[in-house]
Structure formats: structure tokens, C-alpha cells
Chains A and B, each alone.
Chain A
Amino acid sequence: MNMRGDLARDLAGIVGERHVRVDDGALAAHARDATPLFEATPQAVVYPGSTAEVAEILRYATANRVPVVPRGGGSNLCAAAVPLRGGIVMVLTRLNRILEISREELLARVQPGVTTATLAAAAAEQGLLYAPDPGSHTVSTIGGNIATCAGGLRGLKYGVTRNYVLGLEAVLPTGEIIRTGGRLWKDVAGYDLTRLLTGSEGTLAVITEATVALLPKPKESGTGVAYFASLADASRAVTAVIAAGIVPATLEFLDHKCIAAVEEFAKLGLRLDAGALLLFGDDGEADAIARNLDRIGAICTEIGALEVTLAEDVARADALLAARRCSLPALSRLGPLTVLEDVTVPRHRLAEMVDRIDEIADRYELRIATFGHAGDGNLHPTCVLDPHDHAAIERCHKAFAEIFSAAIALDGTITGEHGVGAAKLPYLEERLGTDQVALLGRIKRAFDPAGILNPGKLGS
């Protein structure tokens, strides 16, 4: 029997025939995630229905030296879910139950396949907030969010996924089931494996359950928009806002290319003649919000905003935030190949970084649109390309290599929230240095002696 047949039979023995796919179509459909230009075909796709099944699959994979790549919603943007070395793609979306939401303890216990938006909605029903809200929240899963330490639009005030993970159940590549952390806000017993697994990109263990912290849902929220002549001006406004001691829930910006693309999809009446749009928002008590938004508006005007307006109602504010979330896919209207990056710099260096990106884009004759979480110094320069123009794609890779170096030179990083995956692995050493990369390798081997879990990525 051939290898694929063996795999199909063996995996079916664990999860049942219905939950294994080895047909060419299914393999093709799992050859990529949301990252362009990266594809590799697995030999099997498996959908486990329990932690025990996950453990049995991993034991089998270690015994037989078959790579396993965990996958949630497949919305990853750094090719972390691409099965570079073939093997098994393990899709965790069948594990999609919310096990518990506790108002007394302000936490939720969920399986990894629950989508971020589903958890947020369930929490909201109880008057609670699950704060991390990545742009892909309707499709991304909590397991995937934790594995990549997803950020989102509320990072400035509320932090990112790692700030909300209290405990994990995870299966080691060798099949042992571990429980890290728990229901406690204070717990220093041992190395902080919860944090280590958060952002480990499926290279150390497979997350099968998570306990996450919730917050009381803010009573009110408010949103405003300021237009600037340039992204650099908007960046200066962001720095000034923080320097004034205001930490709003939302500080997002888009350059004029993004405004045009988003407007075409969402039709919100955005101003198309401006160089940049800054979306600011806060939540909490109504009077505090009003005060903060007024002060932010005044600072923007001082910096030279062309126009400042506050959203008149919640529906308008939601529409603005939703529009911001879809910046990336909307940009693909300009050109079907969008290569998106994720550099992050200290907030007060945003304007410098933005200028550097523009200069690099000009020099390489590329169309790079930039949007991002300005309040976090987190930029998403996005290169819009024709997929058939190989010379431009080559220039794009060179330009991004320079953008990464520029970010590091400004005390920044190569990725703020999307992860390293396969896409940024070549640049990791420049960021971390040789010794740290070597340590990553030793940590990886301690968890995964056979090297079966998401090989070719972090720690490999």
C-alpha cells in the first residue's frame, strides 16, 4: 500500500473515516493559508474530535516521523499553517465548544476551534468583554489566536492575546497532555509555559483547551475620525495623544491608498482627497469618553488635521471599525497579489518608519499602501502586485528585507502580531541574534525531539 493509503488507514483508525481526507482536492485546499506565495501539499488532513484523539495522532506522528501542522481558521498571514514538509494538516475546528463562561471569575474556558467573534459574542451576552480582536475575528480561532499571539484593534488600551491567556491544555508532540496555568491571575509555579506556548506557532505543542480572562464590558464607546495631509502627520498626532496622557482604546490609521480601497467596498463617505485617516475611539463611561475624544480631536487639529469629526452613533462607529478591519482584503481590489507585512516600532518613531517605507517603496518602484494600529506602533505596509509580474515580486521581497532592517534599526521588530511562520523566518536572526535563535532551537527540541510539529518554522 502506498504512503497516502497507510496514512489514511492509520488516521481513520484514530478519528474515524469521516474525519480524514486524503483526496487530492482536500490536500490542495490545505496547501496554503491566507499568506500569498507559500504553498506546500500535505498527504492527509485530519479533523480530531477530542484531546485524546489529538494525543493519539501526535504519538503516531512521532513514532512514524510524520510532520503535523496544526490549523484553525486558516487566516494566518505568515505561512505558519503551510505544511512545508508535507505530512498531516490537523484542523482543530471540530473542537468548537465554549465550555464555560464565568461572571464570578471573569474568565472563559474554550476549545481551540471556537472563533474569536463567537467567544466575544458569547461573552458580550453575559455583559463581558473578550478584548483581543484581530481583524480576522470572524474566521480566526482562539487556538490560532493563542498560537500566534494575535493582536488587534484594541491593543493599545487592552493589550494582546498573551495578556488574556490564563491557562492552557496542550498536547506535546510525544503525546503527553499538559495543563499550564489555570484559573489564577497569580501563579508563579514553574517556568511560564502558558506564555511560552502563546505565540509558539504550533511548533511546540497543540493547544486543545484555553482558559482566557474576560473583562466587564465597557458601558459606552465612542469613535472619531481625523484626516491628515500625510501618514507622517497622523503619526505625529498619535505620539502627541499618548504624550498627553491619553490611552484610548483605538488609534488606527490608513493612508490614502487604503482609504480609497476601503471606501470602494464599504461606501462610508470617507474623504478621498486626504493623505491619511486616523480612527480614534475610546470606551468606558460616557463623560470620560467625551472628554478623551474632545482632547484627541483638539490635539489632531493642533498637529494640522484637515478635518476632525466624531461618529454620531454606534452604528456609524461600528461601520468605521468594520471598514478598518477589512483594509487588507479591500486593498486586493487594487491588484490581486497583496504582500502584507507587520513591522512594529516604538510609537514615537512611527513617523520616521512611515517615511522610510515610502522612500523604500519609491526606490523599488512598488505600490505599497500602509495601514495599521498606530497606537501600538504596529504598521501593515502592503505591497499590491500583479501575480504574474515576477520582477516586481522579486523587488517586493528586497524592499521588505530593507523595511525589516529599517524597523530593527529604529528599535522595532519584524512582526508585531502576525507571527514569523515561514514568511519571516529568514529575518528572525537579524532580530534575535545568533544566541537567541540557537536557544529557540534547544527549546524546540526539548518539546519535540522528533521534530514533527510544524517543521521548517520557529525552532527548526
Chain B
Amino acid sequence: MIDRSASDARPDAASGTGRPAPASAGIFDPGLLDRCISCGFCLPVCPTYRLTGQETSSPRGRITLMRALESGRLADGDPTLAEEASFCLGCRACETVCPAGVRYGELLEQWRDHQWRGRRRPLLARLLMAVVSRPALLGLQRLVRRYATGKAGRRAVPGGADRPASLMLGCVERGLYPEVSRAVLELRPELAVPGGQGCCGALHAHNGDSAAGRELARKLGERLDGTIVTTAGGCAAHLAHHLGRDRVAELSEYLERTGYRPAGEVRVNGRRARVALQDSCHLRNALGVTRPPRELIAAVADYVELPNAGDCCGAAGTYSLLRPADSRAVLRPKLEAIEAADVDYVVALNPGCLRQLRQGLRRARSRAKAIHLAELLVMAARAANRSTPR
């Protein structure tokens, strides 16, 4: 039997005289946390809210949870806090529709710093972070660099712009997709590829160690001369945050800035290929870069805009490894859109997305193939070379 006057009811500040200033735990930057006005404009663009329809898995709900953690209203070990800090993809789509200017990505980093401190961090994330923090452990760096650059190796030379530019190899990409860096160098041979490149630290920042994330970004900034050119949207956003926007250029930006003119055409079965794009979340949502990759694709193929090109594919860094079922659920509408669009290729701008799309398309037995933008452009350029009479 339930009584309305039960002590469980807690009208907190219903008088309209303002909340008392909560005691702060110092987990979050209070200025950042105050910014959200709970208007809910973020709900319709949040992939996890779309999956569950529950307030707690929306950006607004998560910020309410962060506030409750900060004020002590929710206990440190609260299971909903743990679950939602992990369930969030960190895609930052919410930031693009937030008129109040909430910097959700930073809040999430601070949340995970606290939530995933020390041994609370998922084991898999800890392992990955340990590996990429020690490039030597990968044991591949030199090999990759040689493979990517050809035998001679390269020196820093002025890039197409007035300043030198260096290609960042990327810790995940150099292991999984060294052919992407190789393709970039075929397009832009002037890029320097310095050795001893570590991880940019995005992985750490997104997995509860923003201090290490910042430090790794700083180190990489010292190691790489001039403009840092990256084939990973996620790394671009992380580096831009710590080193300054003008130090970093994602590949499509760099190509545009240096006046790259795509050559040739990608053809499939005797016709111009139909090619779609998967935006990189952080490239789109944090850096606002959406036009250059589309224009580059449209120059060498028939560009097809997916209705959900800007939605997260579910890769989300370590997410696809830590939460495989949720990751696949986020990917599903994307795969459906790709099938409906009947495309030959889907271009990715980030190695995580590339891996996610390749796996998903394979599982779905799709005829579409996922490739990196650099690979698509090289394919076109090679076709142009072949057809040019010598």
C-alpha cells in the first residue's frame, strides 16, 4: 500500500526561490556544467536517445546526471552514472544543435576522467591505451613508415602552402590500414613523415585520461613540423583542441588548402562509380568540416548524400570494442541507408569508421565497399594515369 505522504517523496525546491548552491565535488568545470538550460534541443540528434527513448541516455539527461554527481545527489558508485558514462558514444552531435553552446565533449572527458579513473576503466581500454602510448610496442612503426614512404624515407620539405606539413601516421591506422598513409603520400608526396610518432592522445582523452591525452598531443605537436595532416577526423579534433586549430588539417582540408585538383574518375562496371560519405563525427561536429570531402568525392565519382551521413556509425573510438552490441545497433540504420542508396563505395574519414563500416557491410553481405578518402582519390588518379597516353 502506498501513501502519498511517504517520506520517499522529495520535493526539493518547489517554492521557486532558487536552488541552494550545491556543494561541489570539483569533478567538472562548473562554468561548463552551468551552460545547459535543459531545453532538450539535443534529444532528436542523439544516437543513444534514439535507441532507448530514455531521458537518461540523452545529452540533457546525462548533463543532469553529471550535475547530480557534482552536487553529491547521486552517489559516486551509482550504477546509472557508470552505465551512461559508458553508453554515450561521444559523437558530439548534440553540440551542433545546442544554441546554448554547451561543450559536451569536454564535459564527457571530465566525467570519464572521474568515472573511469584507475582500475575502473574498462580493461580493454586500458590495454589499448598502454599499447599506443608506447609506439615501440607496436613494433610496426618503422615498417609502416618504410612501406608508406618507399625505401628512401623523407625529409621535412615545405608543403603546398607556405609552411611545412607533416603526415601523422595515427596509432590505429598504422596498425590496421597502412595503405591509407601510403595513398596520402601518393597524392601529396611533399609531406614529411617524421619517425617516432606516438599516439595523439585522443584515445586517452575519450577513455578517462584527459591528462595523458593532453600530454601526448603536446608531444606529437613537438615531433611533427608545421601543419599536422591527419587522415583521422577524431585525431584532428583532439589535436586542434590542444595545439590550436591552425596547427591541424584533416586530409580533405589539407588537399583543399593546398589546391589539390582531383584527377581521373572512379568507374565501376563501365560507369562512373556511385559514392557516399560517412562523416567523421568529430570532424563534422567539433571542427565543422563537411564540405571539402564531399567536393573531392564529387570530382571523381557520382556523389550520393546518405540521409544520415552525419550520424555516428557506432565506431566511436573504443566503443565498438567495449560495447559491441550497442555499436552495431547504432550502425544498423546506416547500413540500411547505404543499401537503399545503392552505392559502390562508402568513403570514411577516420580509421575507426572505416573498420566499423567494413565489418558491418561484410556482415550485411552488401555490395558496397568502405574505403578511405585517400584511397578513392588514388584510385581515380591511377585510372587517369593509365588512360593518359605516354
A241 at the B interface (CB under 8 A): no
Which of B3, B14, B34, B74 interacts with A28 by CB under 8 Å?
A: B74
Bits for A1-44, please: 1 = Cβ < 8 Å to B, else 0. Answer: 01110110000000000000101111011111110111111010
Q: Which residues of chain B from 52 to 77 have any CB-CB distance to chain A below 8 Å in the complex?
A: 53-56, 60-61, 64-65, 68, 73-75
If A6-B2, A139-B40 touch, does A25 touch B18 (CB 8 Å cutoff)? no
A144 CB → nearest B CB, Å: 11
A175 interface residue per 8 A CB criterion: no
Q: Is A364 an interface residue (CB 8 A)?
A: no
Q: Which residue of A lies closest to B40 (CB)?
A: A139
A residues in contact with B21, CB < 8 Å: 387-388, 390
- CB B104 to nearest CB in A, in angstroms, measures 14
Interface contact A73-B14, CB-CB below 8 Å? no
Interface assignment of B275: CB less than 8 Å from any CB of chain A: no
- The interface size of chain A toward B, counting residues with CB under 8 Å, comes to 68
User: Which residues of chain A are near B17, meaning CB under 8 Å?
Assistant: 37, 393-394, 397
The size class of the interface chain B forms with chain A is 35 or more
Given contacts A29-B61, A38-B14, A38-B16, are A138 and B41 in contact (CB under 8 A)?
Answer: yes
Contact B101 A333 (CB under 8 A): yes
Q: Which of A36-56 contact B (CB under 8 A)?
A: 36-41, 43, 45, 47
Interface stretch (choices A79-87, A155-163, A293-301, A405-413): A79-87
Question: Contact between B99 and A330 (Cβ–Cβ < 8 Å)?
Answer: yes
Which of B1, B11, B13 has the most chain A CB atoms closer than 10 A to its own CB?
Answer: B11
B287 at the interface (CB under 8 A from A): no
A2–B55 Cα distance when bound, in Å, is: 25
Q: Is the CB of B53 within 8 A of A93?
A: yes
A375 within 8 Å of B by Cβ?
Answer: no
Is B78's CB within 8 Å of the partner chain A? yes
Q: Does A344 contact B (CB under 8 A)?
A: no
A31 and B12 contacting across the interface, CB-CB below 8 Å: yes
- The stretch that binds A, out of B79-87, B144-152, B335-343, is B79-87
Least CB distance, B76 to chain A, in whole angstroms: 12
A117-B9 Cα distance, complex, nearest whole Å: 35
With an 8 A cutoff between CB atoms, is A456 at the interface? yes
**Which of B10, B39, B78, B80 is packed against the most chain A CB atoms within 10 Å?**
B39
Among B16, B17, B35, B99: residue with most chain A CB under 10 A: B99
Segment of A59-67, A123-131, A146-154, A192-200 engaged in the interface with chain B: A59-67
CB-nearest residue of chain B relative to A94?
B53
Report the Cα distance A40→B9, complex, angstroms: 8
User: Are B8 and A3 in contact, CB atoms less than 8 angstroms apart?
Assistant: yes
Given contacts A65-B4, A387-B21, A393-B18, are A26 and B55 in contact (CB under 8 A)? yes
A221 shortest CB reach to chain B, Å: 23
B38 to chain A, nearest CB (A): 5
Is residue B390 contacting chain A, with contact meaning CB distance below 8 A? no
Chain A CB within 8 A of B132 CB: no
Q: Assess whether A75 is interfacial by the CB under 8 Å rule.
A: yes
Please tell me if the beta carbons of A26 and B80 are within 8 angstroms of each other in the complex: yes
**Are B56 and A326 in contact, with the CB atoms below 8 A?**
no
Task: Give me 5 other A-B pairs in contact (C-beta within 8 A), A136-B39, A426-B16 excluded.
Answer: A21-B54, A24-B78, A332-B37, A336-B31, A456-B14
Using a CB–CB distance below 8 Å, which chain A residues touch chain B? 2-4, 6-7, 21, 23-26, 28-34, 36-41, 43, 45, 47, 64-67, 73-75, 79, 82, 84-87, 91, 93-94, 96, 115, 117, 136, 138-139, 265, 326, 328-330, 332-333, 336-338, 387-388, 390, 393-394, 397, 422-423, 426, 456
In the assembled complex, 22 residue pairs joining A and B whose CB atoms fall closer than 8 Å, in A order, are: A29-B55, A31-B12, A31-B64, A34-B37, A37-B17, A39-B12, A40-B10, A40-B12, A43-B9, A45-B55, A82-B14, A85-B4, A85-B11, A117-B44, A136-B40, A138-B43, A265-B101, A336-B34, A393-B17, A397-B17, A426-B16, A456-B14
